[in-house]
Structure 1
């Protein structure tokens, strides 16, 4: 998911291009404005933590681009491509290393496991919105 700061800074094309150049297929994509209920569902594992409200307020502050990226070892490789959550720790060449400004506004979200990917995909997409690439 390209977060509100990434959308606002017009990084959508650049980020999609990186995934496609790496050989991944984008099999679903849409721009949405996440409501609070959906945001709380997305970040339910962080409920009760000190940063939860800030996270919810941020992700609902503007449009995001949700997408499903498909390919060999997609979860593992995409996580490496995006870099550390804290851009100070993200190496140059990663999406966050190149574009993120702060830990709170770090341009992109990606699932950290196949289980979470399946759960998060179901939050934003229904089956007929996912396209098989030949």
Structure 2
């Protein structure tokens, strides 16, 4: 059984759409095995977004990601990494099709409501980062 890390970003909580997103994940047949609400800080965001720390859009990303709590979760299922990425839709909301989470809920590329791991290796790194050794 494959597992992945999924995070509902502050705008999902601020807009009250967490329940709808969780329902979509569960209706797809995936199992949420761990879930918690947490407030992120800059040190963990520097680690999580190490690949963009030097980009001009990193400071606004930190501001957005610290603007409210997030919902962190571990989701399991067959081919769940690719399946969740399909369910989420592309990061750029203008490319996300209706019926995907981002296609239906993202307001912009920055405010795109959800994050999901992009590979088995990154899934394990992100799960450890946010949940420790589970």
TM-score, reference length from structure 2: 0.92
Root-mean-square deviation (Å): 0.9
Unpaired runs of at least 5, structure 1:
none
Query: Which has the larger share of strand?
Result: 2
Residue in structure 2 matching 1:58, options 47, 59, 64? 64
d(CA) in 2 for partners of 1:58, 1:116 = 22
**Any idea what the Cα deviations from partners look like across 1:40-90, whole Å, max 9, x if unmatched?**
111111121121111111111110000011000111010000001111110
Residue in structure 2 matching 1:69, options 45, 69, 75? 75
d(CA) in 1 for partners of 2:100, 2:71 = 19
Q: Which residue number corresponds to residue 84 of structure 2?
A: 78
d(CA) in 1 for partners of 2:69, 2:42 = 13
Q: Which residue number corresponds to residue 53 of structure 2?
A: 47
Q: Which residue number corresponds to residue 117 of structure 1?
A: 123
Q: How many residues align?
A: 128
Q: Which residue number corresponds to residue 17 of structure 2?
A: 11
Between the two structures, name the one with larger relative contact order (CA 8 Å, sep ≥ 6). Answer: 2
Deviation at 1:126, TM superposition (A): 2.6
Q: The residue matched to 1:49 in structure 2 has which SS?
A: coil
